[in-house]
Structures are given as C-alpha cells and as structure tokens.
Chain A
Amino acid sequence: MEKKHYERPHIIKLETGMPGKFGMRNDSPPTTHIDGVAVKELVAGYGSPLFVISESTTRSVYRKAYKAFSTRYPKVQFAWSYKTNYLSAVCNIFHQEGSWAEVVSGFEYDKAVANGVDPAKIIFNGPGKSTEDLRKAAENGSLIHIDHLDELYTLTDLTGELTRKPLVAIRVNMDTGIYPMWDRFGFNYENGQAWDAINKIMMSGKLELVGLHTHIGTFIMSAGAYGIAASKLADLALGIKQKFNHDIRYIDMGGGFTSKNTLKGSYLPGSDTNPSFDDYAEAITSALVNSGFKPDNLPLLILETGRALIDEAGYIITTVIANKRLSTGRRATIIDAGVNLLFTSFWYQHPVTPAQGFSQYREENALYGPLCMNIDCVRDSITLPLLNKGEQLVIHYTGAYNLTQWMQFITLRPKVVLIDQDSKTHIIRESESVTSVSGFEKTPDYLNIIK
C-alpha cells in the first residue's frame, strides 16, 4: 500500500473576538512554476537559494510603464537606473526596449559603456563624481547632472582642457508637499539655490544647460507630489527661456515610483494601494502640458524609474532549513536566504508563497534567514502552510536593489538565473566560491605560518 503524504501534526486554538478591520486572506496559492519552469527543476539544476529574473515580466512591465506615459505625452524617454539592478543581462533587456542608462558612479558609467550604450544616452547623476569621471563623461557627450556647486566649479575648470562643451543639467530639490522632503540632492527650488546655479551656468557660457532634473524621494505613494515637482521644473524651464532665451531640451523627473511591495507597517498590500503607472503619468504629464510650454516645443520627458520596473520580475527561491519554536511557543522557520540576499526585507513585507501544494492548515511564523545574526529576519510574522525541512518557498518582488545591495556576509552569494521568453533558463551571474572572496586578500608571509 502506498504511504500517505505527510504533513506535521498541527493544532490551533480558535480565538473569538472582533474581526480585524484589515483582515486579509492568508492562504498562499503555491508558486510551483515561474514562467513555465518548475521551481523544483530550478532548484535541482541551480541549487538553493536561487535568484530568478523573469524576462517576460521585465519587458511587459516596461511596456506598461512606457505606454502609460507615451499615450499622454509626445516625447518620453526612460533611462534605466543602474543602481537598482546592474546585472548586464537585466540592463540590456531595458536597453533593447529603448531605455537609456542612468548611472551614479564611475563604475556604473563604465558598465553602461561596456554594455554598449551610446555615451550620449548616458545620464550621469549622483553626488560623488570624481574629476576623472566628469572629464570622461564630458568628453563622451554624456548628460552630466550637477549635484552641487563644487561639482559645477570643477566641471567649469575642466572646460579649458576639454575638446567639447559639457552637456549639463542641474539637479533640483523642492517641497512637493510630502514628508520627508529630500533636500540632499541638487539645488533647492524654493530658496533660490537652483536659480543661482542656473545663472552661474548661463553666465559662464562654458557649459551647455540642456536639462532640469529632480529626484523627489523614494517609494513615493502620492502621485500628486510628482505633479507639483513637474510644475516647478516647468516654471524653471520657462523662466530660463524668458531670461536667457534658451530652450531646455528635457525635464527629468528622476525615480521613486513604488513597486507592488508593501512597506513595513502598512495594513493593506502595496499591490492594492500603491499608485499605478497611469496615476504617476497623469500627474506628471498633466503638469507639463498645462504649464506654459508651446505645444510644438515641449521638452523631452525623461524618467529614471528603477524599482517599479524590475521588482516584480525578481524571485528568490529558498529552502526550509529547520522548524523550531520560540520561547513563547511561536513557530519559527529558518530558510537559506536571509538579509544578506534580501536587503529589501528591512523595508518591505515581501510576499512569500510555498513552492508546493499544501493542505488548508496554516500557522503564524517568524521567518528567519541562515545568518548567525539577530537582525536576520525576513518576515517578523507571516502565515504559512505547515512546511517541512527541505521544502521550498518563493519570495516575490525582489528584483530591485537586492542584486546590487546584497552582501557577501557570512555566506556566499548564489547563482542568478534568467528565464527567457521561451521559458529557457540562463545563468546570468555565477555563484561565488571561497576563492572569489579570498582571491582579493593578501596575507603577509609571516601570518601564513600557524603552529
């Protein structure tokens, strides 16, 4: 006789009381396949934990975002935010779709060039550009977004050595009615810093002011804030036209759109409550169209959206290492992917689903990673089926920031696999080995002797 499938014994006390106003479904439909590839097959082939990127989702989300803006405004350009995910395979999907590159360091700049991006389509943001970075970007005709006066002076000084006039924009920070107001990037709109920088650029005649940029914050849950920001940049652009008879070629609204993730402390899931691309597009394009630009001379609208484009396409497949009870009797589950791989678990309540079917029984769990560190908690509290050691979970919406901010800490980083549009799998980053870490070390000879 064939033996029955085992599920560990489970009993839960039924509590009565007022139902929670924010009570949500806590069943998790299993994620047995990603883009038609069985999770079990992925684990058998590539190990666990495993990062998976879906090419189909990446492209479809990009097209959805592009459509939201391009149906409302005639000149739209996305620039892929390298810091969000700079795996070359991922960047090149966006470049194939038509995205420029938006970089914030010399390293990212070189990576974009190596990926084959035309330097004229690289936007160089960030507060930390070196003199050499500025020289290279200026000579290549890239778009340099000036963050502070020291950078403005450095670049102006460099012009004597350059063969071409640098193409620049200024970064503008402003009050858009949201908290916190980000004022660390660029020049302030309200107190006149922005005009001061514009005047300096225009009066020097050494730099070509081609754009205006803002980055109002991150994970902005109010689309209206972008409308205010777009109005203020339009006001600056129109002021420049009036004062210097100079046309600004583009307005760059930066990044900061939400993904479907749920911020910690939120009652309702982000997939239901966060603004859509249409919401952001409506706010931004309405502000630009309703400003004083002539209809035949609208500036190009650039968007540096990162998180909202790639979060949904990323998955981490992880395996249960152990089940245990905490001192209070709460269930704790230990998995092989922790905050070393899932940096964003400090910010979000990532959705987690089982990779195999289960019965209807569920249990509240603390979900811990494998690190011997108290902070290694993937979810403080999550309701999951009765998992056994060796079974898999799938963590969702992990495509943004994790593959750039992950840590080689305590353990090694795993493979990253791309599932293409024909459901074929490709390793796009190999797993690390001890030598990939210790290979960079140099030990003095006298410390190589251990008695």
Chain B
Amino acid sequence: MKINENLAISESGFLFNPTTGESFTVNPIGAEIIELLKEGKTDGQITEMLLKTYQIDSQTLQKDLHDFNDILKQHQLLEPNE
C-alpha cells in the first residue's frame, strides 16, 4: 500500500483528496506521517524518525501507527501498490 500522492495537505492540517473530493482534518503528527509516506518512507523508517522526535515508547508508537494506517485505508487514502 502507498499513500495517494495527489493528496493536498495544508500546514494547519486540512487535507483534501482530489480523487474523491473528500476533506479531512489531521493532527500535526498525523500530517507528519502522511508527508513521510508521500516521500516514500517505510513504516520502519517512520517509526525510527518519530521515536527520535517524540516522547513515546516504541510499542505504543507502533500500535498507534498501525491503527492510523487502518484508518487511512478505511478512508481510501492508501492505494494498492501497482
């Protein structure tokens, strides 16, 4: 799965999906993750980067990232790899 590269995301966390016309609000760490996904970073790389930046343990972060991925899929913001 990879993130839909056409997603437009503003600094304030407003996210627009031009494919479906749907809009979302995303919090700062969520926006950061989406940007990293757009850059093509893997889950492992994202985890490593966030662990360096935030006061959080690896287990909780991985659990939350997994959950966030599921929600991105549910909103069809992740696309199957070609």
Determine if B48 is an interface residue (Cβ-Cβ < 8 Å): no
Chain B residue nearest to A325 (CB atoms) is B67
Determine if A196 is an interface residue (Cβ-Cβ < 8 Å): no
Q: Give the residue of A6, A7, A11, A323 whose beta carbon is less than 8 angstroms from that of B72.
A: A11
Residues of A within 8 A of B65 (CB): 9
Determine if A13 is an interface residue (Cβ-Cβ < 8 Å): yes
Residues of A within 8 A of B22 (CB): 13-14
Residues of B within 8 A of A8 (CB): 29, 64, 67-68
Q: Is the Cβ of A9 less than 8 Å from the Cβ of B53?
A: no
Determine if A329 is an interface residue (Cβ-Cβ < 8 Å): yes
Residue interface bits B8-42, CB-to-A below 8 A is 1, else 0: 00000001000000111111111001000000000
Chain B residue nearest to A322 (CB atoms) is B63
Q: Which of B15, B22, B64 gathers most chain A CB within 10 Å?
A: B64
Interfacial residues of chain A within 337-388, with CB under 8 A of chain B in the complex: 359, 361, 386, 388
Q: Which of A8, A9, A323, A329 gathers most chain B CB within 10 Å?
A: A9
Q: Is the Cβ of A10 less than 8 Å from the Cβ of B53?
A: no
Q: Is the Cβ of B15 less than 8 Å from the Cβ of A11?
A: yes
The B interface, classified by DSSP as helix, strand, loop or mixed, is helix
Residues of A within 8 A of B52 (CB): 3
Question: A3 CA to B61 CA in the complex, in Å?
Answer: 14
Determine if A25 is an interface residue (Cβ-Cβ < 8 Å): no
Residues of B within 8 A of A329 (CB): 70-71, 74
Residues of B within 8 A of A294 (CB): none
Determine if A21 is an interface residue (Cβ-Cβ < 8 Å): no
Residues of B within 8 A of A12 (CB): 24-26
Q: Is the Cβ of B53 less than 8 Å from the Cβ of A11?
A: no
Q: Give the residue of B15, B24, B53 whose beta carbon is less than 8 angstroms from that of A4.
A: B53
Question: A9 CA to B30 CA in the complex, in Å?
Answer: 4
8 A-B pairs within 8 Å (CB atoms) are namely A3-B54, A9-B27, A9-B33, A11-B30, A323-B67, A329-B74, A359-B28, A361-B25
Residues of A within 8 A of B (CB): 3-14, 323, 325, 329, 359, 361, 386, 388-389
Q: Beyond A9-B30, A9-B65, A13-B75, list 9 extra A-B contacts (CB 8 Å).
A: A4-B53, A4-B55, A10-B27, A11-B77, A13-B22, A323-B67, A325-B67, A359-B28, A361-B27
